Amino acid sequence: MKLSQSFTKTTKTAPADEASRSAKYLLRAGYIYKEMAGVYDYLPLGMRTLEKIIQIIREEMNAIGSEELRLTALQPKDVWEATDRWSDDVMDVWFKTKLNAGGELGLAPTHEEPLTHVMKSYISSYKDLPVYAYQFQTKFRNELRAKSGIMRTREFMMKDLYSFSKNREEHDVFYEKCADSYKKIFNRLGIGNDTFRTFASGGAFSKYSDEFQTLCEVGEDIIYLDREKGIAVNEEVYNDEVLADLGLDKSKLEQCKAAEVGNIFTLGYRFSDALDLCYNDEDGKRQKVFMGSYGIGPSRVMGVIAEKLSDDKGLIWPEEIAPYKYYIVGIGEKGEEMAAKLHDMAPEDIILDDRKNARTGEKFADAELMGIPYRVVISDKTLADNKVELKNRKTDETKLLTLDEFTSKLA
Amino acid sequence: MKLSQSFTKTTKTAPADEASRSAKYLLRAGYIYKEMAGVYDYLPLGMRTLEKIIQIIREEMNAIGSEELRLTALQPKDVWEATDRWSDDVMDVWFKTKLNAGGELGLAPTHEEPLTHVMKSYISSYKDLPVYAYQFQTKFRNELRAKSGIMRTREFMMKDLYSFSKNREEHDVFYEKCADSYKKIFNRLGIGNDTFRTFASGGAFSKYSDEFQTLCEVGEDIIYLDREKGIAVNEEVYNDEVLADLGLDKSKLEQCKAAEVGNIFTLGYRFSDALDLCYNDEDGKRQKVFMGSYGIGPSRVMGVIAEKLSDDKGLIWPEEIAPYKYYIVGIGEKGEEMAAKLHDMAPEDIILDDRKNARTGEKFADAELMGIPYRVVISDKTLADNKVELKNRKTDETKLLTLDEFTSKLA
Asked if the C-beta of A265 comes within 8 angstroms of chain B's C-beta atoms, the answer is no
In the chain, the amino acid numbered A263 is: N
Span A34-61, pLDDT tens digits:
999 999 999 999 999 999 999 999 999 9
Q: Which of A44, A67, A357 sits opposite B7 (nearest CB)?
A: A67
Question: How many residues are given for chain A?
Answer: 411
Question: How many residues are given for chain B?
Answer: 411
Cβ pair B120, B79 in contact under 8 A? no
Span A110-140, pLDDT tens digits:
999 999 999 999 999 999 999 999 999 999 9
Q: How far apart are CA B129 and CA B127, in angstroms?
A: 6
**B284 Cβ contact list (under 8 Å, min separation 6):** none
**B269 C-beta neighbours (distance < 10 Å), count:** 16
The sign of the dihedral angle between the CA atoms of B270, B271, B274, B276 is: negative
Q: Which of A6, A41, A122 sits opposite B70 (nearest CB)?
A: A41
Pairs across A and B, CB distance < 8 A: 144
Q: Please give the distance of CA B137 from its chain centroid, rounded to a whole number.
A: 12
* β-pair type (B278-280, B326-331): unpaired
Q: What is the 3-state secondary structure (H, E, C) of B58-79?
A: HHHHHHCCCEECECCCEEEHHH
B167, B203, B197, B162: which is closest to B182 by C-alpha?
B197
Say if residue A15's pLDDT is above 90: no
In A, minimum Cα distance to B65 occurs at A5
Say if residue A177's pLDDT is above 90: yes
What pLDDT band is residue A147 in, cutting at 50, 70 and 90? confident
CB contact under 8 A, B76 and A35: yes
Asked if the C-beta of A13 comes within 8 angstroms of chain B's C-beta atoms, the answer is no
The one-digit pLDDT tens for each residue of chain B (411 residues) are: 999 999 999 999 888 888 889 999 999 999 999 999 999 999 999 999 999 999 999 999 999 999 999 999 999 999 999 999 999 999 999 999 999 999 999 999 999 999 999 999 999 999 999 999 999 999 999 999 887 788 889 999 999 999 999 999 999 999 999 999 999 999 999 999 999 999 999 988 999 999 999 999 989 999 999 999 999 999 999 999 999 999 999 999 999 999 999 999 999 999 999 999 999 999 999 999 999 999 999 999 999 999 999 999 999 999 999 999 999 999 999 999 999 999 999 999 999 999 998 999 999 999 999 999 999 999 999 999 999 999 999 999 999 999 999 999 997
Q: For residue A219, give how far its alpha carbon lies from the nearest alpha carbon of chain B (Å).
A: 22
Respond yes or no on whether the N-terminal peptide bond of residue B318 is cis (omega within 30° of 0).
no
Q: For residue B107, give how far its alpha carbon lies from the nearest alpha carbon of chain A (Å).
A: 10
**A157: which strand partners?**
A138
CB contact under 8 A, B69 and A76: no
